Amino acid sequence: MRVTVIRNADIVVAWDKDSQSHIYVKNADVAFENGKLTYVGTGYAGAADTEQDGRGFMVMPGLVNIHSHPASEPLNKSILDELGSPGLYNSALYEFMPIIRPDAEGAEAAWKVAYAELLKSGVTTLADLSVAHPSWIDLAGQSGLRVCITPMFRTARWYTKNGHVVEYEWDEAVGEKAMAQALEMVDAAEAHPSGRLFSMLCPAQIDTCSEGLIKESYAEAQRRKIPWQIHAAQSTVEFHEITRRHGVSPVQWLEQLDVLGETSIVSHGIFLDDYPRNSWHTRRDLDLLVETRTAVAHCPTVFMRRGIAMRDFGRYLRAGVRLGIGTDTYPHNMLEEMRHVGYVARMMAENPRTVTSGEIFTAATVGGADLLGRDDIGRLETGCNADLVLVNLAHPMMRPGYDPIRSMIYAAAERAVDTVYVGGEKVVEKGQCLTIDFEQAAEDLHAAQQRTVQRAPQEDWAKRPVTAYAPHSFSGLA
């Protein structure tokens, strides 16, 4: 097989076994063959079929995004930015998100837009939480990404008839059928010829899944030795609903179902029993997450839009909670998400020292890899997959460059991402996605959003046009 060498990179973010940490290595080389890293360090003297000049670049591991909704979220752009139900604690989950949904064609465009955005922001591995769709596996395979196919399924749908009460329509048969379809998607992912697709099980939300579906899906994930993820502690509405039904917090309900553990991921995990607005009487949830080694997928952007935030990322880290980072919403820009992780944590803690950029970068790389049960991604170490990113250190937004990781997270973001490899295959070059026609996908998504806006009143309890709850910034577009 052909050996590719990136030679004389100004900086390589390498993995140090002794400290179990990323470290900066100056003037270093990175070599890979057959999709695997064969050398990371200085003075590479081995064979080289292809050489890339690394001068002026930082080589870093590809980012690992553990929670994302590519099939739906890109279509919400410019509609949900300032939208939340005042009668439902400013969440948009229950009244508006069921209305603003893409059709089948729009979902394909959304996937392509999200996948391209992720690649362009340095993501090489993605946990894709979507619903079963006949084109999903093909789109994931064509993207060039390493995709954890995570089909969501549930027993009930939520809805509101008045904007301040959430109701649930239950159907056990629908939940069982959806889980069966999810397992078929999981099997297809694991058998994909690219070798880049793997899987996770995801009963969608703690409040929309029956006790049986939650326990059954967890048992199936354990049997298959794959991770398991569920949305929980993600809203005030959900916290009140679970305490009303069961008399315990969402995290404690998962404990009673015996589904917390090292292979379990709680999506969001914001509304713990000590969250101030909950005013609950126990203070056990954070300790439960630590004791059971249950992980949390942290996605600050979607919540900060509505004045909601985890309390706080640094506190969870210091307690010993295993954490990864996901984009969840549009734009699917992992570097901007990492910036928001830092800013929101410091604001909530009222302390600029609550979390460091190194800790954020670690959560977005080896942290996410650990949550997905992978030790071959998220780090630049011999034997790992050749999933790597070249960042242009000479980009004006990277200057001055006292600390390149901080310059990338807090200033340059995706603008400085030049080249991305997944499994040794180049998928981004000079900032352009090679596997997806990003511009055409964006145009297709725009058309899909227009179709959604036209049919939205039919899905709305109040039969309102979208402009009634998401007015334009200025008059003149109606």
Report whether pLDDT(181) > 90: yes
Residue 334 is encoded by which pair of tokens?
Answer: 């992992």
Residue 44's pLDDT is 96
Of 63, 65, 69, give the one whose Cα is nearest residue 328. 69
Q: DSSP readout, 104-135?
A: HHHHHHHHHHHHHHHHHTTEEEEEEEE---TT
Question: Rounded to 5 degrees, what are φ and ψ at 216?
Answer: -65, -45
Of 365, 358, 386, give the one whose Cα is nearest residue 374. 365
Instruction: Report the pLDDT averaged over residues 245-265.
Output: 98
Instruction: Report the pLDDT averaged over residues 231-260.
Output: 98
Mean pLDDT of the chain: 97
The model's pLDDT over 428-447, given as tens digits with 9 standing for 90+, comes to 999 999 999 999 999 999 99
Question: Rounded to 5 degrees, what are φ and ψ at 368?
Answer: -65, -40
User: Percent of the chain at pLDDT above 70?
Assistant: 100
The model's pLDDT over 58-75, given as tens digits with 9 standing for 90+, comes to 999 999 999 999 999 999
Question: Whole-angstrom Cα distance, residue 309 to residue 300?
Answer: 7
Residue 47's pLDDT is 87
The model's pLDDT over 82-125, given as tens digits with 9 standing for 90+, comes to 999 999 999 999 999 999 999 999 999 999 999 999 999 999 99
Taking the complete model, does pTM exceed 0.85, yes or no? yes
The model's pLDDT over 283-326, given as tens digits with 9 standing for 90+, comes to 999 999 999 999 999 999 999 999 999 999 999 999 999 999 99
Please report, as a single letter, which amino acid is at residue 10: D
Report whether pLDDT(478) > 80: no
Question: Whole-angstrom Cα distance, residue 58 to residue 67?
Answer: 26
Neighbours of 159 (CB within 10 A): 15
Question: Whole-angstrom Cα distance, residue 230 to residue 209?
Answer: 10
The model's pLDDT over 114-170, given as tens digits with 9 standing for 90+, comes to 999 999 999 999 999 999 899 999 999 999 999 999 999 999 999 999 999 999 999
pLDDT band at 458 (very low <50, low <70, confident <90, very high): very high
Residue 100's pLDDT is 94
Residue 12's pLDDT is 98
Long-range CB contacts for residues 469-477, cutoff 8 Å, separation at least 24: 469/83, 469/96, 470/79, 470/80, 470/82, 470/83
Q: DSSP readout, 76-101?
A: GTTTSTT---GGGTT-STTTTTTTS-
